Amino acid sequence: MIRDSDFVVALDPTMFGGGNPPHNCGREIIVTYKGKSIIATVLDASPDAERYGIDLTRSAFKALAPLDQETINVTWRFAK
């Protein structure tokens, strides 16, 4: 179960991958915004995300920017 307090991310369905489990499920990514970086674990697909888009849990988003911003342009990469 994913909680808002977890640093978890959902990738766009193509990046999340196929298979059982999907090939990127469980991997860590480094997300950066305005000089701040966090590490989040990929645990889901976000059907609304555009290619290479991500969806962060509330706590992961809040670690990067105020929640009232709703959307931010981040860079990200797989940690390993």
**Distance between CA atoms of 45 and 64, rounded to whole angstroms?**
21
- Looking from the CA of 31 toward its CB, the CA atoms found within 13 Å total 28
- Give the total number of structural domains in the chain: 1
| CATH number of the domain enclosing 56 | 2.40.40.10
pTM of the entire predicted model: 0.91
C-alpha distance across the termini of the chain, in Å: 24
Q: In the prediction, which pLDDT does 78 show?
A: 97
Give the residue numbers spanning the domain of 70: 8-78
Q: In the prediction, which pLDDT does 18 show?
A: 87
Whether 80 has a pLDDT exceeding 90, the answer reads no
pLDDT tens-digit map of 19-75: 888 999 999 999 999 999 999 999 999 999 999 999 999 999 999 999 999 899 999
Q: How far is residue 77 CA from its own chain's centroid? A: 10
